[in-house]
Amino acid sequence: MMDAVVPAEISAELTQILSNLVLGDNEIRASAEKAVNERLAHTPELYLLALAQFAITADTEVMRSFSLVLLRRLLFRPAPSNAQPPANNPPVPHAPALRMTLYDHLSHQTLSTLERLLLFALAHEASPGVRHKAVDTVTDLAAHGMVRGHGWHALQAQSFAMAHAGLEGHPGAADAAAGGQSAPPVLQRECAFRVFAGCPNLVMDLQIDAVLGVFQRGLKDQESVEVRHAALIAAVSFLSAADATQLAQSISLLSPMLDTLADLAATLSQPPLGTPPNTQAKTSNYHYLSTFLSTLTPLASSHPILFSPHLQTLLRFLPTLILPPVDCGRTPTVNRPFPTGTGGGGAFQFPPPSGGGGDEDDDDHADEDDERDERSTLRLSALEFMISITEARPNMVRKLPGWTEVVVRACLEGMGEFDEDETQGLDAWLREDPSVASSSAETDSPPALYEQSLDRLACALGGKSILPPAFHYIPSMMVSYDWRVRHAGLMAVAAIGEGTGKVMQKELQTIVDMVTPMFKDAHPRVRYAACQCVGQLCTDLEEIIQQRFHQQLFDVLIPALEDPEPRVHAHAASALINFCEGVERDTLLPYLDPIVERLLKLLNPQAAPTQVRRYVQEQAITTLAMVADASETTFAKHYGTIMPLLLSVLQNADGPDYRKLRVKAMECAGLIAIAVGPDVFRPDAKTLIELLLRIQQSPIDPNDTQLMHYLMATWAKVCQALGGEFEAYLPVVMPTLLATAGAKADLSVYDEDAYEERDGWETIVLDGHTYGVRTSSMDEKCQAFETLVIYCSTLGARFSPYLGQTLEVTLPSLRFYFHEGVREACAMLIPMLLACGQQSTTLTTNMVNTTLMQMINCIGAEHDATFLASLYKYFGDAVRVLGGINVLAPELRDGALEATKRQLHTLADRRKARMERSTAQPAEFDRDEMALVEEIEDFALEDMAKVLAAFDANHPLLVAVASVRDLGFNPYDSDEDGDEDLDS
């Protein structure tokens, strides 16, 4: 054991503090946290060293792990504001957004001692869990040091020594401190590769052949699969961080990396490498192969071209991993020559076994379940690996015979594998409320994951590649005796619609003829899938399928609204929404009466209240709203039946159980009001508004997160329905609306190392700082501005009493960088507000100058090309509202031209830099992505040119606009082969 580096009394005190930190008592723990902060404030170096020493000397693995985690957290926490770096420390090199931490204030001597302690822990720790924590701390320390120009050559040397530990001619890692028992060589080798993985910069400046040699030996380690895995992680990390030259020199590394997969695939039924003889392995090769594949998948996404020479080799064993195994029952053994089992895999046995099989049977079943789970995980891991390569480089795999076919087949097979009892599973599914969060668990089930994979595959490869292999199987799936397979066939058609839509149009008649009979299937889940399939096709092939096959689809969807199972008729109503979104009004009208009649039965059933499914009523209301929107004034004939029902819901649907029903009724009432027009709606307008007022003035239920959104949206719809008559209600709605629009961002400033994801929050990086933004409050702010757009555009001059207040909240929000929708709505609102002011003669010169100057300042400083285009568009609209460029003050005209010059310089510099990067680093340059960026910039240049032409049709800056546009590279020079070009 190495000598103590801190006094014994400090070690004893720290031991007590750490013991208190892990206690469950909040008061004791808070006191210990306070003690840690106090010691760090006064003598940080002493206590950091004591913490590192404790990571070596603590008696328990828990305390050694805890001390390493705490050391890592404390070292890289922000430094105290009054702390000064030691005078003898070298200056920190300039780096963008480099945050000063406690690490930067350590003396050279303390840092050296700290590094020596951690190297000792790395070489001597025998516990796998603690050793991994030591690696995390060491690699963080190394990475932070390298960014600051502080190398750690001892770590580099020790890691290479550990990578050779126990190999012939290499005794192992040299121990800098005398004494102590080094960890076993195999653990040292694993640890070394984990260090290389966590800090690839340790090997980036070394001779490439030496680095590759070390990695290759680790990938072929003869003693431990864990060493092989650590070497694989290190190799992936190295290749991900390598530059183009290093990548070219490292291509040979892929073969041994992929050999690890082939070796594991060939030994799945054997104990893992390194398992002691006559012992039961805790982890199987199924698990290890899944883990190896998951490790390689990110590299497949980021550097797919590396795998190109090896695709044929991968196809030799990957198909056996992603396709389901043939179940021939349990394997006979000496003790059990005639094993029994469930699922049809057991041997015939007479007399039949009794219900209880004893503990041995329970253990066998548990082992079977574990093995089945591991096989399922492996199949999905291998599939994800293949899908990732496909998405990253579609053309590369298109040309490989067999690749697409086997992935399609694997997805279709997996989609039909429901692991549930036929009767109990169906009963549970029928009883389940699909609108509650628990039903989302279905999206994480293996069949759902296979479905998502098929969707991704179709989007990546397109119809010409996917439809032939898919429809080799789908027709026979539709007539299978097994409902699961029929279900999978329907869901497969729905899944590939988005990616294959252009090619699928040619075969749409065949597909519709294949799908529509399934609405009469005997199994409710198949009928549900038929609704899902039609609904998805109506979205993916919007207007096309509705126009060509409306009669066939209505003939199955309308009767499905009367399906005996609530989940099925509710989903049929949901599919009708998708249908109506792309249907022409005249096409819908002949079917309007039977649709509304059946939806009304779902909304107002005659069954006993206990038998009514609320989610069905909610869906019926939602579908009625969409039907009303699509049929417009023709819906008036049904108004007298439906509106009283909706008003009754709003009057009586109180309590938490009716939250969703109430907001859906609100939304539907607003859409119907717009559809039928003010004359039909007017008699009920006062009642609806009174109900909305009552809801708005009721105490806020903190758990009702949707109410304010729907309330604001319904007020906007009532405004659109009533037109100018809504002016009388502005005093009621505007105070709350302006308060919401003017709300500040709900922010948290995150420490990078302490960042944790929180539901309902998202992160953005601004000026080098990471912020957490509560998304719900930002969405409400955006909706408030969108509602102001509706009020102002609908009411025109009648909105003028609120012109000044609205401008006060709108102008600052042009720079609200936390939400793009807010800025977009504000820019759109400005010309409407100016028009309102002009029409009402309430617009002042000060309002005009302040508003336009704010827009000009935003134009000059904007970095987002999308919003820059919007700023120019709405600035031009605002100028036209005011009477043209000539009515502007000289300072506004000059300001607009100066802002435009700045933007032209910025855009030109960006495009030149992009061209240089595409030439210098062609392998790392994504031309498709950059072509999209430049297309967006072209939109901004186009709107900029329109504003300049308003100044002068021959303005000199128009030539500059054209010159900047010409700086873009050719977006059509790509590797795409035009798979989806139907005219080719």
pLDDT along the chain (984 residues), means of 10: 74 83 76 81 85 88 90 80 52 51 86 92 89 93 88 91 82 45 87 94 90 95 94 96 91 95 92 83 90 97 94 94 72 55 43 50 64 91 97 93 96 88 76 69 83 96 95 95 95 94 92 96 96 95 92 96 95 94 90 94 78 89 92 91 93 85 93 94 95 89 86 96 94 94 72 53 61 75 95 96 96 90 95 95 93 95 93 95 90 94 93 81 69 88 93 90 82 42 37
Question: What is the Cα–Cα distance from 613 to 770, expressed in whole angstroms?
Answer: 45
**Residue 163: Cβ within 10 Å count:** 26
Torsional sign, CA 474, 478, 484, 487:
positive
Helix locations, 632-774, DSSP H: 636-652, 659-676, 678-697, 707-722, 730-741
**The sheet that has 769-774: what strands, in order across it?**
747-750, 769-774, 761-766
What integer pLDDT is reported at residue 754 of this predicted model?
46
User: Under a CB-based contact definition with an 8 Å cutoff, are residues 565 and 430 in contact?
Assistant: yes
Which residues, at least 6 apart from 399, have a Cβ–Cβ distance to it below 8 Å? none
DSSP codes of every residue in 46-102: HHHHHHHHHHHH-SSHHHHHHHHHHHHHHHTSBPPTT----TTSPPPPP-TTPPPBG
Which residues, at least 6 apart from 897, have a Cβ–Cβ distance to it below 8 Å? 951, 957
DSSP codes of every residue in 542-584: TTHHHHHHHHHHHHHHHHHTT-SSHHHHHHHHHHHHHHHHT--
Question: What is the Cα–Cα distance from 203 to 195, expressed in whole angstroms?
Answer: 10
Half-sphere CA count of 315, side-chain side, radius 13 A? 14
What integer pLDDT is reported at residue 981 of this predicted model?
41
What integer pLDDT is reported at residue 46 of this predicted model?
87
| Long-range Cβ pairs for the range 935-938 (8 Å, 24+) | 935/971, 936/865, 936/866, 936/869, 937/865, 937/907, 937/910, 937/911, 937/968, 938/965, 938/968
What integer pLDDT is reported at residue 769 of this predicted model?
58
User: Under a CB-based contact definition with an 8 Å cutoff, are residues 82 and 102 in contact?
Assistant: no
Question: What is the Cα–Cα distance from 980 to 978, expressed in whole angstroms?
Answer: 5
Residue 628's SS3 state is helix
- Name the packing angle between helices 775-795 and 803-810 (round to 10°): 140
Question: What is the Cα–Cα distance from 43 to 50, expressed in whole angstroms?
Answer: 11
User: Under a CB-based contact definition with an 8 Å cutoff, are residues 190 and 224 in contact?
Assistant: yes
- H/E stretch holding 461 reads helix 446-461
**Residue 950: Cβ within 10 Å count:** 17
User: Under a CB-based contact definition with an 8 Å cutoff, are residues 826 and 867 in contact?
Assistant: no
pLDDT digits (tens, 9 = 90+) for 147-192: 888 889 999 999 999 999 888 765 554 443 334 567 889 999 999 9
Residue 942's SS3 state is helix
Q: Looking at this protein, which amino acid is placed at residue 576?
A: L
| Long-range Cβ pairs for the range 237-245 (8 Å, 24+) | 237/196, 237/197, 237/198, 237/200, 238/196, 238/200, 238/203, 238/204, 238/211, 239/299, 239/303, 239/306, 240/200, 240/298, 240/299, 240/302, 240/303, 241/200, 241/201, 241/204, 242/204, 244/921, 244/923, 244/924
**Residue 249: Cβ within 10 Å count:** 14
Which residues, at least 6 apart from 423, have a Cβ–Cβ distance to it below 8 Å? none
What integer pLDDT is reported at residue 856 of this predicted model?
95
Between the CA of residue 350 and those of 27, 275, 340, 344, what are the distances in Å?
Answer: 65, 39, 11, 15
Helix locations, 98-151, DSSP H: 108-124, 128-147
What integer pLDDT is reported at residue 971 of this predicted model?
47
**CA-closest candidate to residue 384, choices 416, 417, 411, 415:** 411
- Name the packing angle between helices 566-581 and 614-631 (round to 10°): 20
Between the CA of residue 234 and those of 194, 198, 322, 570, what are the distances in Å?
Answer: 6, 8, 26, 52
Specify whether the backbone of 166 is left (phi greater than 0), alpha (psi in -120 to 50) or beta.
left
**Residue 22: Cβ within 10 Å count:** 11
User: Under a CB-based contact definition with an 8 Å cutoff, are residues 655 and 667 in contact?
Assistant: no
Secondary structure letter of residue 303 according to DSSP? -
pLDDT digits (tens, 9 = 90+) for 300-355: 999 999 999 999 999 999 999 999 876 555 555 555 555 544 444 444 444 444 44
Residue 22's SS3 state is coil
Between the CA of residue 953 and those of 869, 890, 946, 961, what are the distances in Å?
Answer: 19, 18, 9, 13
User: Under a CB-based contact definition with an 8 Å cutoff, are residues 914 and 927 in contact?
Assistant: no
Question: What is the Cα–Cα distance from 940 to 962, expressed in whole angstroms?
Answer: 12
Question: What is the Cα–Cα distance from 482 to 86, expressed in whole angstroms?
Answer: 75
